[in-house]
Chains A and B, each alone.
Chain A
Amino acid sequence: MDKPSPLGQFEQLVLTAILSLGDDAYGVTIHARAEELMRPRRCQLGAVYATLDRMEEKGLVVSRLSEPTAQRGGRKRRLYRLSPRGEEALGDSAAVARRVCEVVEEHWGEQQWKPA
């Protein structure tokens, strides 16, 4: 399979949220974690659904339905996890982000650059 295309910023956030949530990654928790990652900005729950849908189609994540739970009115969760292709794409993005951070730190130093 060919190399995954570079991720958009929101896709990176959603993939990172899924990675950090482990086995508990579904719509509500992914949205909450993505908002944590992108604070002080907010994101729409609908945008998370749309991004998950698109990334599943691109083969970056895979999903399955869980057992129904009473806490959700007897509804199932759609649980997501990264596919190998998604892991590769996120790894590439993280490597680029790391290089960007290094260059910014090198030029601005810690005095000027204080990431939140």
Chain B
Amino acid sequence: MEAGLSSGPPRALERAVLWMVPPLVREEIAGDFWERYRSPLQYLADAAKALPYIVLSQARRATQMPLFLLLALTILAAHGGLEPDRGTVAGVPIALRALVATLAVLAALMLRNAYRPSEAWSAVRAIGDVVWLLIALLASQAALALLASAGLLDPSWRLPLGWLVGGFAFYSVVMLLLRAELEAVDPGVRERSQDVAAGIASLRRGLRLRLVFETAALGVLAAASGGYALFSSPVVALVAGLWAVVTLALIAWRLRRAGRQPTAECRAAFIAELTRQRDAGRAAWWWYFVPLFAGLAWNTIAFGVGAAQPAIAVVGSGACALLAAMIVQLGIWRKRKLGERIAELESL
């Protein structure tokens, strides 16, 4: 026993390496590395070779592809990635600046997913994700500013403040809504609780939070579209804002009604609630993206047609179709996940 303990890596080295291992798999990876330990150099080499696989695998496992692609398109569009060059902004085109910001935010999101402390969904984690993305976004802009000040980059690579703040406000709300919508019902493979009472309590919390997020989004979207209407295209802002306000109000009202229904803490009630969620054909997220659809149509399709630039109109139509396809895929994915969860509960 003691011999086994004494043959491990130096404590500081082990700490440094394990700090880089995602928490969800740290225990078993730490043991495996310890068991293979022969020398500090070999330990480091082992870790350096295995870590990229482990981090990528954890990131992939925690990343739901339809959701990720939907967010990617949303982030790109929200930062102006689909904004046509109207000749009003000097320097690097907005679309390229948005692409840099989007890549930074997506990389941060994947890292955050890989290093998640648990597979269970929680509101605190979702809010933490948003804060993390904000830090990544600001860090990317600070890095661009540093490079520009060193004369290595054109200063206009940074996003204009309006696109930076407005874009972030939009997709952070969308991200919170989608996470509450999708992940509250899917705690992940390893942590799916066999404890039905805990499971139903978690589902209830998720549904309540969804209601809170959606209601909060109502206010944010209304304020954002109001501000947008003051400074920019009032037609798009009015349509998008009013549409979002009305539909989100309807969703909140409908959810509130559903929330009043009594549920007993038993498996049958849990299955019944999950079945109700699955069969509801809930398509609320279509409405989360109304401003994005409106913006895409205005900035690309309408602009392309108006400026006799068919290529832009075609790209815009493609982006709208892609957005719609992702939303449909998300619906299918959610339904399947709920079905799996129901089957899992029924088999207990």
Contacts and interface: CB of A to CB of B under 8 A. Distances in A.
A49 B36 CA distance: 15
B28 A70 contact: no
Interface in A37-80: 44-47, 49-50, 53-54, 56-57, 63, 65, 68-78
A46 B25 CA distance: 12
The 10 tightest CB contacts between A and B, nearest first, are: A46-B53, A75-B31, A46-B50, A72-B31, A71-B4, A78-B28, A50-B57, A73-B34, A27-B32, A70-B1
B53 A71 contact: no
Contact of B27 (A47, A56, A65): A65
A78 B61 CA distance: 17
A65 B53 contact: no
A75 B27 contact: yes
Contacts of B36: 28, 45
A44 B53 contact: yes
Interface in B158-205: 189-190
Contacts of A28: 32, 35-36
Interface residues of B, number: 30
Given A44-B50, A50-B56, A75-B30, 9 more contacts: A27-B29, A49-B53, A53-B57, A54-B57, A71-B35, A75-B31, A77-B28, A77-B31, A78-B28
Given A28-B36, A70-B1, A49 B31 contact: no
Given A46-B49, A50-B57, A73 B5 contact: yes
Contact of A50 (B5, B54, B189): B54
Interface of B: 1-2, 4-5, 8, 14, 25, 27-32, 34-36, 46, 49-54, 56-58, 60-61, 189-190
A72 B35 contact: yes
7 contacts: A26-B28, A27-B28, A72-B4, A73-B5, A73-B30, A73-B31, A78-B28
B4 A50 contact: no
A74 B8 CA distance: 11
A54 B30 CA distance: 20
A71 B2 CA distance: 8
Contacts of B50: 44-46, 49
B54 A75 contact: no
Interface string A64-103: 0100111111111110000000000000000000000000
B36 to A, nearest CB: 6
